[in-house]
Amino acid sequence: MLCWEKSSTFGVQSIDIDPIPCYGTTHADYFYGEIPCVRCLTKEEINSAYEENTGHLIVSEFKRMKKDVMAVPAVLCKNHGSFSWGKDAKEAVHNAVILEEVAKMAYRTELIHPHMRPEYYADLYRRYQSYVKQYGEKKIFKIACGPGTNVSDPNYNWTEVLMKNAGAYMDGLSLHYYTTPSDDWNHKGSATDFTREEYEVTLRKALFMETLLAGHGAVMDKYDPEKRVALVVDEWGTWYDVEPGTNPGFLYQQNTMRDAMVAALTLNLFNKHADRVRMANIAQTVNVLQAVVLTDGAKMVLTPTYHVFDLYKVHQGSTLLHSSVSCGCDEASGLPLVQESASRAADGSLSTTLCNPSASEAVEMETVVTGCEMELAEALVLAGEIHAHNDFETGSPVQIQALAGVAVAHEGGNTVLRFTLPPCSAARLTLR
């Protein structure tokens, strides 16, 4: 059952109304894409049965625009008003309230957009943060909006101006970066049906995170050499087209070993930049985008990305150690043959996480831990064909396994590990 909620009609003869663009997550949470504005009713449609004809107009326009009425549960009718709907009256009213709020957000965004230079935003931030007072013992952590970024424009100037003019008044600066195989936002590509070239493009784009962390970090170091201000990567992950047959507004997508490689590469980078990156949030946890868990009613599967997080959790609360690899990059794909990070836990154990992003080539590894003799406590690996994934029909073929064939030697006071890192894999080795 669909229930409608109609706003007051406009008391004007003529008014031009554009669709409401998506300018924020509140809009995206409730409406997939822009909220359309349909044409005026004709004189004949008004005089015959304008309420019924309004409904016919909305239905026909949504069919013409190929929009899902449940993914975009609202519309503007030119020279008339707004309509919203839902599965019951309560949801219809709720969507009407959300429509009003996102319209206000869009209006204010359009109002300030021509003036939104970083200097202007820095002044706004300083103004409003002054009213956020500290009450009680729990410290308020103030985070400023960071730069808009993409592979063609890291937008270092935004960070430069904000750190110069407002850095003393913030505790963190946000950074968003999503990985998409395609540059066409309306056709980002399939989560499961992709070519090897698309696989490699996705991983190269994921590695652009290194450029962002190093570049923005260098600007922040200029004004904050003590690294007091955190770089907060509060949205990252892969973004593809939604799964066929699902509500496009829910952003549901499957998760393959390609996504596991994105997670492994990215988490290694976060670990290596832990002096500045002190918060990082994958988008999102359950069912949405690069989720770690997928559910269907009472059923649940753990994604390849989940297993990477499980492997890498050993770094949490540990101390970053200097590490490097010398095997270089694959010339054909432009991807590193191996990427790594390492840390020491409070109990003295040492762990390294490694990623081999190659779709088909294994890498023979020799890992040297200098200045100490330790024993292998655990060696684990997540590996699979690039399209491999877990789902409700076939189960969970993608699982963490023991990494076989790890040889340990003590040479000249150093610990040497020799093993083979499979293609498309993430591994963790722990020494004690």
| Chain Cα centroid distance, residue 135 | 32
3-state secondary structure of 306: helix
3-state secondary structure of 257: helix
Q: Is 412 exposed, middle or buried (0-12, 13-18, 19+ CB in 10 A)?
A: exposed
Task: Single out the catalytic residue among 16, 135, 184, 347.
Answer: 135
Q: Rounded distance, CA 135 to CA 14, Å?
A: 51
User: Do 236 and 282 meet the contact criterion of CB atoms below 8 Å apart?
Assistant: yes
Would you call 29 a catalytic residue per the annotation? yes
Cis peptide before 284 (omega within 30 of 0): yes
Of 236, 214, 218, residue with least CA distance to 284: 236
Q: What is the dihedral of CA 321, 322, 326, 327, to 10 degrees?
A: 30
User: Do 305 and 313 meet the contact criterion of CB atoms below 8 Å apart?
Assistant: no
3-state secondary structure of 333: coil
Q: Rounded distance, CA 412 to CA 124, Å?
A: 60
Which residues, 6 or more positions from 167, have their beta carbon under 8 angstroms from its beta carbon?
220, 223, 224, 229
DSSP state of 114: G
| Chain Cα centroid distance, residue 83 | 32
3-state secondary structure of 320: strand
Task: Single out the catalytic residue among 29, 221, 241, 391.
Answer: 29
Q: Angle, to 10 degrees, between the axis of helix 156-166 and the axis of helix 208-223?
A: 30
Structure tokens at 33: 């894409």
**How far apart, in Å, are the Cα atoms of 335 and each of 56, 199, 327, 409?**
54, 11, 11, 30
Q: Rounded distance, CA 342 to CA 324, Å?
A: 9
Structure tokens at 360: 């088909």
Would you call 391 a catalytic residue per the annotation? no
Q: What is the dihedral of CA 78, 12, 107, 39, to 10 degrees?
A: 10
Which residues participate in catalysis according to the annotation?
A: 29, 135
